[in-house]
Amino acid sequence: MGYLAGVDLGTSSLKVIVMDEEGGICVEASKRYQYDSPVNGYGEQNAEVWWQACCACFQKIIPQIGAHRIAGIGFSGQMHGAVFLDANMQQVRPSILHLDARSGKQLAHMATLLTPQTIQGVLMNPLYSGFLVPSLLWVKDNEPEAYSRIRHVLLPKDYLRYRLCGEVLSDYSDASGTLAFDIRQMTWADEVLRTLALPRSLFPDCVATDALAGHVTAQAARDTGLLEGTPLVAGGGDQVMQSIGNGVILPGQSTVNIGTSGQVSFQADHAIENPALNTNTFCGYGKGLWYTMGATMSAGLSMSWVGKALGGSFAQLDLDAQKAPAGSGGLLFMPYLSGERTPHFNPDISGMVWGLSVNTDRARLARAVMEGVAYSLRECMELCQSLGLTSKVHVASGGGAQSPLWLQIQADVYGVPLKVADVKQHACVGAAIAAGAGIGMYRSIEDGCRRVVHYQERLYHPNAENHARYNQYYRLYKQAYQDGKQVLQELTVLGRQA
């Protein structure tokens, strides 16, 4: 029997799973790492860290499963980040990640060069820091010597796949998150690149998520333990891949994901236009597929922060939070630790805890962080619904879906039921399903989802009393941003000067 491998390149770790064709997880491995922040507001990483993590994971897996039994490999990756390579395919400088906030000047310049019609009708997304194009323009403006040596700009998972097969490609879903892609036509936006004076040659050709994209080279086989010639498929951005891994691929379906960042994503059969430009519309895993999403920048990251501040693991904080009441005894946490995307699109905002008192303890603060992330995701959800997108049940995903308490908090805050797939590594499973479709093990990604994805029996229904209480807190949460944003923005500026 052939097995399928799925690789998920995240912000804080790389994960690999190997599953059989019915979705049974045979073996898995992960490798954690930290991104660099040499200046407050910067997010960078040496892409070699990802490659070494990938090698380490396969070196752990291969002795357990046998390289010859892996029939295909798919990829999921953190979106928006930029990997800069020279003519010899060597890194020119560290990669700039999706959570980077340095490119404010470049974004302002882009807004003067690109017409509102182009931004609205072609890019279909707001101009925001951390996306590939403003990061590339920052290098052009601030590191001209480095920019002069750049010959290829890749997204993170595309760099990893290049290291395995030597082929330079991207896919529609990941490329659509660069601010250089025509969302409706699903191709690079040549008009935008010309206007910004960026060579088209820097950007790779794009294919569908399940398209064959190369084979493991002899050198990569020596580095990883994989079998030379093992086929690779293109893969996709992590939002698309976790949706596939949750079986959410049809219009009228949605996911709510809590990873390092958080997203609410609705599937659609056409590109949803938002005149306010405070959501994102990206391409799906193939032609004629799109999704619209709202994103909060610091979801699981907020729990990591409070764990560092108070000491203790996520599991310990989860147990603590169970001791606190709904509403955390009058606390409001605003999870703007890395700025915020939806609905504010404000990279210069900082986080805040409102309502601290002598009664504030570890349990209440931990629960307030969980609730604050849920309020932020509810804003994302309501904004998407205002564009006509609907879903009766949301599929919860990511690390946050491993906490029954956080799942119940979400259901209570949103006022809608949540269900959970019966696997943990949703993006990895999505990547493996894409691999199966690409090598012909499944007839299509849809067929792979039908065969692989199953759900837990428990459905998380909202508690009416808690929902009513959370509605009061949610009203204050939205008001708190309006009342406090000027102070929080000025604090962010002062903090970057420290």
CA of 167: how far to CAs of 56, 230, 232, in Å?
22, 14, 10
Fold of 248-420+463-498: Nucleotidyltransferase; domain 5 (3.30.420)
Instruction: Name the least confident of 38-47, 81-90, 250-259, 341-350.
Output: 341-350
CA–centroid distance for 397 within its chain? 12
Amino acid at 60: K
Q: What pLDDT is attached to residue 237?
A: 96
Q: What pLDDT is attached to residue 47?
A: 97
- The answer to whether 81 and 96 have CB atoms below 8 angstroms apart is yes
Confidence of residue 173 (pLDDT cuts 50, 70, 90): very high
pTM of the model: 0.88
pLDDT tens readout for residues 431-450 = 999 999 999 999 999 999 99
Q: Would you call 31 helix, strand, or coil by DSSP? A: strand
Written as one string, the DSSP assignment of 404-437 is HHHHHHHHHHHTS-EEEBS-S-HHHHHHHHHHHH
Do strands 13-19 and 25-32 pair parallel, antiparallel, or not at all (unpaired)? Answer: antiparallel
**What residues does CATH 3.30.420.40 cover in the chain?**
3-240, 248-420+463-498
pLDDT tens readout for residues 470-495 = 999 999 999 998 888 888 888 887 87
278 Cβ neighbours under 8 A, 6+ residues apart:
126, 294, 342, 343, 344, 345, 383
CA–CA dist 30, 13 (Å, integer): 7
What CATH architecture does domain 3-240 belong to?
A: 2-Layer Sandwich (3.30)
Helices (H), 81-217: 104-113, 116-118, 132-142, 144-149, 156-165, 172-175, 190-195
Q: What pLDDT is attached to residue 353?
A: 93
- The answer to whether 352 and 335 have CB atoms below 8 angstroms apart is no
pLDDT tens readout for residues 199-243 = 999 999 999 999 999 999 999 999 999 999 999 999 999 999 999
Q: What pLDDT is attached to residue 260?
A: 82
Q: Give catalytic residues, as residue numbers.
A: 238
Q: What pLDDT is attached to residue 498?
A: 62
pLDDT tens readout for residues 277-310 = 989 999 999 999 999 999 898 999 999 999 999 9
CA–CA dist 6, 75 (Å, integer): 6
Averaged over 52-68, what is the pLDDT?
A: 97
Averaged over 10-33, what is the pLDDT?
A: 95
pLDDT tens readout for residues 98-131 = 989 899 999 999 999 999 999 999 999 999 899 9
CA–centroid distance for 128 within its chain? 15
pLDDT tens readout for residues 375-425 = 999 999 999 999 999 887 799 988 888 999 999 999 999 999 999 998 888
Averaged over 365-370, what is the pLDDT?
A: 97
Q: Which helix (H) or strand (E) holds 305?
A: helix 300-310
Q: What pLDDT is attached to residue 41?
A: 82
Confidence of residue 345 (pLDDT cuts 50, 70, 90): confident
Confidence of residue 1 (pLDDT cuts 50, 70, 90): low
CA–CA dist 366, 310 (Å, integer): 9
Average pLDDT, the chain: 94
